[in-house]
Amino acid sequence: MNAKDNRLGLALRIAVIAVVAVVLQETVVSEVPLFGVTADVTSLTVMSIGLLAGSMAGAISGFAIGLLVDIVMFQTVGVTALLFIAVGYWSGRLRELRDPSHGLVPLALGALATAFTGIGMAVIQFLLGVKAPVSLLLVQQIVLQVLVNCLIALPVYELVRRFLYRALPRGPRARGRRAGSAALSPLQRPSERLSGGVRARAR
């Protein structure tokens, strides 16, 4: 598959993920409150795409998913899109600058993305003159949503990664293969590990 086909495949897969994430959020996830709040699958999806595919893909997917959320929720068009652009872009920049490989990175980024989205939404609504109560209750809701999203951040990231895997840039796929090889190494038979050690000492 050449680079052009690979980019097209990635774009199509991201488009499918965007639609599915918004539909699931508004029809299923929003109907299942936990600790008095509902999870936000859309912000975790944007974070996952950025972390896997880079800043440009993250920003574009953030705009598309945020715009869909604003339209479906009958909110001020562009507010969620603006916040999600930042989430997707900076998640992608982390991948490009630091190339993180720790398994808990999606969880930490998911918490940050959720907190940023919640606080950013409250600030923008205040600046737009929308009557929204700013109180300890709002802070409590944001904190609870961060905790709830932490519970599902890794599963959401893994689902997105599996769906995008074949179309991802070479970097994440190479990391996945290295991680898989490292995970399999303890499963070698003792005789294989022993022979490997003998060969290493012989060299």
Nearest to 62 by CA among 37, 44, 40, 76: 44
What CATH fold (topology level) applies to the domain 3-168?
Answer: Arp2/3 complex 21 kDa subunit ARPC3 (1.10.1760)
Q: List, for residues 15-41, the tens digit of each pLDDT value.
A: 999 999 999 999 999 888 888 889 999
Measured in residues, the chain has a length of 203
Please name the residues in contact with 33: beta carbons below 8 A apart, sequence gap of 6 or more.
none
Cβ–Cβ under 8 Å, residues 138 and 75 = no
pLDDT, average across residues 192-197: 47
- Any idea where the domains of the chain sit in the sequence? 3-168, 170-203
Residue ranges of the alpha helices (H) in 28-104? 41-53, 55-72, 79-98
Q: Quick one: pLDDT at residue 32?
A: 87
Q: How many CA atoms lie within 13 A of 127 on its CB side?
A: 8
At 155, the pLDDT band (50, 70, 90 cuts) reads very high
Q: Is the per-residue pLDDT at 190 higher than 60?
A: no
At 119, the pLDDT band (50, 70, 90 cuts) reads very high
Highest mean pLDDT (candidates 148-152, 163-167, 170-174): 148-152
Q: Is the per-residue pLDDT at 167 higher than 90?
A: no
